[in-house]
């Protein structure tokens, strides 16, 4: 680890792994190197979606979220593989171990990217970035790009500017040359809909956003309008917070159907599977939630979300599914469905939730009073953790997460 020092300006790194899933597969099987490789959720199905692809595949026009059949039309030699989540989790853990050996100020934001605050480390930041990049490449055979800047937003923008194996510096005093000429769509935090709204008020570049009237932006975008302008001007005071991995308010799962369908049995099967995955993720985080949200996307891509807030916290698959089915029955218009999603919102750690006794739970809890007395007696005699809830913890870590794996890996980061 480098020695610590005092420095007035912040130095933030954003480490972004290049084509992560595909790169991990190539590291595991070197025969794949140099070939067009894509990772897809359901390789056997025509609507399987490309999750990521190698740069060889990207050169042929293969893009993330593209259907497999479209990708193969562009790249007939494309090697399509199922994701191996455990392999990616292991690789990610090794990456963040390397980063954490340099500084404790590491904030993972997904399985393949994270921030480092190296302000108080001695030495040249560019040399440090090269050392990190080379070490990850040498030890794990995985390429990465690193952005260097005085804050998180600019570091993120910088890491996207040169891939693969890029190291880019963004300085505030140079933004008029490096950042402002870019299309506003290239700005981190600006999605397609926001870009369209910005275009409609005459904002087409990041520079135009940086110089747009704040009052007008707030009229169209609320407080987010001022935030976007600040970002465009290189203003971002957010700290690199290692504890931020625990800041979440919802847990959800969604999946595209193999074919657009109105088959209620197929829809129910998918909803059951989604509820099970959400329950699994909640058990991993040891949380419960008070609001259930259902998302329905129809064949014409029209999407609706409907939710119901409950009096009590829920965490079980059966409770989640019951409310989701109720919402579905109330709001489905009988048109063919392309995608379904179930999300539990207003989540809280179970240890922070007081036991809620109502007319339905009081009798059950009262019946357990003798059991609680016995547990308390044994705890006093033998210490804490005499008992563990096997149902809650027994198999949670062995369950394979699916479409929400990017967030799931954060659950295990602090255990490494």
CA 306/CA 364 separation, integer angstroms: 32
> Is 239 part of any domain?
no
What pLDDT does residue 395 have? 38
Q: For tokens 């690789």, name the residue.
A: 91
Alpha-carbon Rg for the chain in angstroms? 24
**356 and 364 Cβ atoms separated by less than 8 Å:** no
**295 and 356 Cβ atoms separated by less than 8 Å:** no
Which domain, by its residues, includes 6? 1-171
Model confidence band, residue 379 (pLDDT cutoffs 50, 70, 90) = low
CB atoms under 10 Å from CB of 188, counted, come to 14
In a shared domain, residues 378 and 268: yes
Domain stop point among 189, 207, 232: 232
CA 142/CA 153 separation, integer angstroms: 24
pLDDT at 47 over 90: no
SS3 sequence, 359-374? CCCHHHHHHCHHHHHH
Higher pLDDT, 372 or 109: 109
CA quadruple 210, 215, 220, 222: dihedral sign: positive
In a shared domain, residues 370 and 397: yes
Model confidence band, residue 213 (pLDDT cutoffs 50, 70, 90) = very high
267 three-class SS: helix
Note the Cα 83 to chain centre separation in Å.
Answer: 16
Domain stop point among 150, 171, 192: 171
Domain with residue 227: its CATH number is 1.10.150.20
CA 376/CA 381 separation, integer angstroms: 9
Q: For tokens 């340099």, name the residue.
A: 102
What pLDDT does residue 48 have? 77
Active site residues: 113
Entry pTM: 0.68
210 three-class SS: helix
* Average pLDDT of the residues in 185-210: 95
CA 189/CA 264 separation, integer angstroms: 37
> Is 144 part of any domain?
yes
Number of domains in the chain: 3
In a shared domain, residues 300 and 359: yes
Query: In terms of Cα–Cα distance, which of 318, 292, 297 is closest to 307?
Result: 292
pLDDT at 10 over 90: yes
Largest CA distance in the chain: 72
* Average pLDDT of the residues in 19-43: 92
Please state, for a pLDDT cut of 90, what percent of the chain lies above it: 64
């Amino acid at each position: 680890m480098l020695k610590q020092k005092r420095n007035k300006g912040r130095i933030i790194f954003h480490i972004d792994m290049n084509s992560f899933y595909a790169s991990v597969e190539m590291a595991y099987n070197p025969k794949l190197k140099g070939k067009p490789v894509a990772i897809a959720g359901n390789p056997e199905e025509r609507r399987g979606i490309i999750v990521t692809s190698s740069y060889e595949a990207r050169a042929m026009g293969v893009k993330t979220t593209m259907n497999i059949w479209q990708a193969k039309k562009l790249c007939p030699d494309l090697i399509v593989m199922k994701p191996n989540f455990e392999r990616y989790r292991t690789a990610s853990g090794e990456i963040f171990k390397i980063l954490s050996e340099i500084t404790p100020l590491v904030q993972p934001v997904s399985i393949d990217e994270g921030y480092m605050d190296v302000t108080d480390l001695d030495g040249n930041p560019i040399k440090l970035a090269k050392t990190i990049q080379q070490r990850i490449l040498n030890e794990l055979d995985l390429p990465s790009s690193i952005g260097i800047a005085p804050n998180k937003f600019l570091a993120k923008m910088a890491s996207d500017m040169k891939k693969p194996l890029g190291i880019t510096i963004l300085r505030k005093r140079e933004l008029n040359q490096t950042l402002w000429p870019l299309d506003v769509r290239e700005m981190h935090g600006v999605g397609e809909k926001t870009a369209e709204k910005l275009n409609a008020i005459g904002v087409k570049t990041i520079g135009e956003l940086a110089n747009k009237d704040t009052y007008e932006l707030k009229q169209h975008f609320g407080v987010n309008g001022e935030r976007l302008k600040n970002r465009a001007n290189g203003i971002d005071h957010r700290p690199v917070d290692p504890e931020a991995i625990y800041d979440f308010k919802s847990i959800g799962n969604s999946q595209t159907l193999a074919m657009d369908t109105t088959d209620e049995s197929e829809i129910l099967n998918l909803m059951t599977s989604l509820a099970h995955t959400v329950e699994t993720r909640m058990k991993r985080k040891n949380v419960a939630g008070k609001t259930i949200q259902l998302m329905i996307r129809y064949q014409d891509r029209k999407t609706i979300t409907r939710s119901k807030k409950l009096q009590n916290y829920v965490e079980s698959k059966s409770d989640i599914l019951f409310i989701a089915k109720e919402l579905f029955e109330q709001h489905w218009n009988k048109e063919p469905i392309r995608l379904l999603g179930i999300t539990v919102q207003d989540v809280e750690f179970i240890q922070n939730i007081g036991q809620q006794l109502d007319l339905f739970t009081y009798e059950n809890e009262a019946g357990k009073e003798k059991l609680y007395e016995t547990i308390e007696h044994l705890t006093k005699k033998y210490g804490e953790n005499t008992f563990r809830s096997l149902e809650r913890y027994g198999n949670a870590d062995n369950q394979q997460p699916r479409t929400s794996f990017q967030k799931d890996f954060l659950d295990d980061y602090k255990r490494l």
